[in-house]
């Protein structure tokens, strides 16, 4: 099995965001984009760099690239839900779009910006695991402001097994969600035919982490395991309290339930803040409200 879990955002950035692995990143992006939007080459704008990681361990681990037509593409792996994630996604998109212009540049130099969010949680009230968001006229249904495009890939909504993979993205998501079952010596034929996946599995099988990288990876992997356990506990308790299957997907009611359960499980306010992205005073407010209702 692969030694490294690619859903850990640090490992995702090291795998897809290293200059020697652009032949992994490019087919992954093309699997996300529609056939008429395929790219033939790209340039990484913020390749993974050990020195940058060492100096700023808390930076957002996104991947930024420019394709052969000049479009800006960002890819981000998120292992934990955050309140107001939709707003955060819009902010990150707009930040990349606005920073294309330097002093004295004209708006005509702005290029289309595509954001791809790979999420280890459910965000949208949509049944499909891959959704594309653009801007359109609500009266005529015609698209406008073509420079805007956001993709969400919600891994927990993907349920197809190897015998029911129909698209390139199906195969990439299978790799992301089942890497612990894959080995470079026995790659399923359904995945081996997808450009880039065989190398990705080989990289994860042989990747070497230094002490700092290993510590960060192990910390994030623990967060991922703990969060999944805590959310499942909250879902069970939510079901017991009549919340429809404990649907904790970033809404305030669900967030309050999740925070209360995490606190009952022994996590401190600071640890809950790391999981949820909320300020400590917001968490204390949720806990105060929960205690007042009990």
Contact by Cβ (8 Å): 294, 267: no
Dihedrals phi, psi of 217, to nearest 5 degrees = -60, -45
Indicate the SS3 state at residue 136.
strand
pLDDT confidence bin for 41, thresholds 50/70/90: very high
For 204-225, write each residue's pLDDT tens digit. 988 878 787 788 778 778 767 7
Contact by Cβ (8 Å): 93, 115: yes
pLDDT recorded at residue 76:
93
For 44-97, write each residue's pLDDT tens digit. 998 887 666 555 544 457 899 999 999 999 999 987 777 788 999 999 999 999
Dihedrals phi, psi of 250, to nearest 5 degrees = 100, -10
Residue 253, both tokens: 């009611």
- As a whole number of angstroms, the distance between CA 263 and CA 163 comes to 41
pLDDT recorded at residue 51:
62
Contact by Cβ (8 Å): 46, 87: no
Q: What is the dihedral of CA 152, 109, 20, 41, to 10 degrees?
A: 80
pLDDT recorded at residue 80:
73
Which three-class secondary structure string do you get for the chain? CCCCCCCCHHHHHHHHCCHHHHHHHHHHHHHHCCHHHCCCCEEECCCCCHHHHHHCCCCCCEEEEEECCCCEEEEEEECCCCCCHHHHHHHHHHHHHHCCCCCCCCHHHCCCEEEEEEECCCCCCCCCCEEEECEECCCCCCEECCCEEEEEEEHHHCCCCHHHCCCHHHHHHHHHHHHHHCCCCCCCHHHHCCCCHHHHHHHHHHCCCCHHHHHHHHHHHHHHHHHHHHHHHHHHHHHHCCCHHHCCCCCHHHHHHHHHHHHHCCCCHHHHHHHHCCCHHHHHHHHHHHHHHC
More confident residue, 146 or 103: 146
For 128-183, write each residue's pLDDT tens digit. 999 999 999 999 999 999 999 999 999 999 999 999 999 999 999 999 999 888 88
Indicate the SS3 state at residue 5.
coil
- As a whole number of angstroms, the distance between CA 179 and CA 197 comes to 11
């Amino acid at each position: 099995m692969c030694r490294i879990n690619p859903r850990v955002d640090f490992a995702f950035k090291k795998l897809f965001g290293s200059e020697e692995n652009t032949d992994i990143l490019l087919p992954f992006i093309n699997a996300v984009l529609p056939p008429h939007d395929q790219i033939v080459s790209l340039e990484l704008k913020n390749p993974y760099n050990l020195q940058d990681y060492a100096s700023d361990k808390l930076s957002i681990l996104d991947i930024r690239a420019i394709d052969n037509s000049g479009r800006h593409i960002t890819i981000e792996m998120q292992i934990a839900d955050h309140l107001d994630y939709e707003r955060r996604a819009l902010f990150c998109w707009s930040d990349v779009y606005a920073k294309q212009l330097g002093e004295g540049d004209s708006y005509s130099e702005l290029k289309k910006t595509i954001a791809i969010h790979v999420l280890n949680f459910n965000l949208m009230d949509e049944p499909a695991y891959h959704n594309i968001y653009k801007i359109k006229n609500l009266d005529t249904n015609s698209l406008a402001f073509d420079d805007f495009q956001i993709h969400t890939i919600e891994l927990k909504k993907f349920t197809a097994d190897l015998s029911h993979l129909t698209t390139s993205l199906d195969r990439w998501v299978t790799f992301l969600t089942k890497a612990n079952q894959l080995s470079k010596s026995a790659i399923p034929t359904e995945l081996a035919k997808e450009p880039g996946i065989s190398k990705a599995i080989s990289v994860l099988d042989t990747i070497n982490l230094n002490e700092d990288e290993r510590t960060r990876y192990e910390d994030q992997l623990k967060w991922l395991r703990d969060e999944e356990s805590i959310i499942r506990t909250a879902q069970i308790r939510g079901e017991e309290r009549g919340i429809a299957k404990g649907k904790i997907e970033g809404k305030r009611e669900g967030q309050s339930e999740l925070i209360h359960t995490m606190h009952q499980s022994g996590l401190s306010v600071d640890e809950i803040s790391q999981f949820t992205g909320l300020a400590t005073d917001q968490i204390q407010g949720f806990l105060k409200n929960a205690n007042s209702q009990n």
